[in-house]
Amino acid sequence: MGDDQAFNFLDELIVEHKETPFEEEIITLEDQVRTSYLLVNTLLHLLIQKKIIQPHEVHNLLRELHQELRNRRGRWE
């Protein structure tokens, strides 16, 4: 792969570099939830792989998160 074909992660993150940054797309709540899920899932897997966090700690965090979401559900509706 030549230098001109190298993947630049910052170009993917910084919207100014793109020609049309989501202006014509409608992002739904379902899209936001799916994206959040994928990001959190990926981050948790990386933390486990790098031995920064243990699987049982992830379980505890997810249980706390679930309880927090259940507590907030009424406030969002």
Give the tens place of pLDDT for each residue, 17-72: 555 555 677 888 888 989 998 998 899 999 999 999 999 998 998 899 888 888 88
What distance in Å separates the CA atoms of residue 30 and residue 5, rounded to the nearest whole number? 33
Residue 70 structural domain: 3-76
Domain count, the chain: 1
**Number of residues that make up the chain:** 77
Structure pTM?
0.52
